[in-house]
Amino acid sequence: MKPILRKIDPGTDYSFSVRQDIHPYLYNRWHYHPEVELTFIRKGNGIRLVGDSMQPFEDGDLVLLGANVPHLWRSDSSYFKESSKLTIEAIAIHFKVDFWGDFFLALPEMTPIKKLLEGAQRGMRITGRTHALVAAKMEEIIHMQGVARIEQLLHMLNLIALPGECEPLSSTGFVQTYNANNTDRIDQIFNYTFTHFREPMSIEKVAGAVNLSPHSFCRYFKTRTLKTYWQFLLEVRIGYACKLLIENKWNISEVAFTSGFSNLSNFNRQFKAVMQLTPIQYVKAYTTNPQL
């Protein structure tokens, strides 16, 4: 399947959409839409995919996505259990780049916001002091009407445009090569991987699940994501290991095997290669810097 084009309906009384979601889990399909998206995860955890970026997310995740950037927030597996009473809470704003008219962004005063929206084609994670300010304004805009909504959105975008308070997510290479009409099977591959990553994996097994030969699968995946499938699988496993380490309910050996690694030494080596920290260093760093 190719990424799904989602239709965002702002309603008849508004020029852009502001939505508060409380669901058992987030919309978990690889999708895109022509609207810019600003999402605040009030409560929830899992793995976030934006273009070729994959990172764990948790309470407070705040991300700006440009128009047509493929993405998904994949809730943790615990949310999908039949007995689960967990919920995800999020606030999402969707707006088209030109919803305020063709010439508004051409105004000299709008230059910082225009550059911000261009940079958002890679996706941006909002951090620092800006994170707290924008998150509070996301809570406020839910209850606003009329011109106040537009003023609030502009204020938030102006805050996000401040230098040094955002980190890009997807690579420039992905942005330059991505084609929404040429991504068949990616959603199937992602779903299969998230379901089975704790198990022993092989290219033959994954390729067979999406009806491709191993050679065609490897070529297809590298073309669509600019990384090998083994790189992607490693990121999935490391992302899940980060979540378990943060929860601090498991020792490192248990984290390694639960995340799909066959031995502890390999886990330690691969974790450091991806995170630039050993698992122990990661836990210590996280306890002193929860925004890591």
My answer on whether 151 and 190 are in the same domain is no
My answer on whether 170 and 251 are in the same domain is no
pLDDT for 172: 63
My answer on whether 131 and 18 are in the same domain is yes
The neighbour count for residue 206, using CB atoms within 10 Å, is 21
41 assigned to some structural domain: yes
Counting runs of H as helices and runs of E as strands, what totals does the chain give?
A: 11, 11
CATH number of the domain that 229 lies in? 1.10.10.60
Eight-state DSSP code of residue 236: H
Measured distance CA(12)–CA(8) in Å, rounded: 12
The domain tally of the chain equals 2
My answer on whether 226 and 141 are in the same domain is no
179 assigned to some structural domain: no
Measured between alpha carbons, how far is residue 39 from residues 90, 256, 272 in Å? Answer: 7, 31, 30
My answer on whether 133 and 34 are in the same domain is yes
The neighbour count for residue 231, using CB atoms within 10 Å, is 16
Task: Return the structure tokens found at 252.
Answer: 């490192």
Residue 118 phi/psi, 5-degree rounding, is: -65, -45
pLDDT for 2: 47
pLDDT for 112: 93
Q: How many Cα neighbours within 13 Å face the side chain of 231?
A: 10
My answer on whether 170 and 188 are in the same domain is no
CATH number of the domain that 66 lies in? 2.60.120.10
The neighbour count for residue 78, using CB atoms within 10 Å, is 12
For 193, the domain range is: 184-288
Measured distance CA(179)–CA(145) in Å, rounded: 36
My answer on whether 82 and 201 are in the same domain is no
Picking from 174, 196, 211, the residue at the C-terminal end of a domain is 174
23 assigned to some structural domain: yes
> What are the residue ranges in the chain where pLDDT is below 70?
1-9, 11-12, 172-184, 286-292
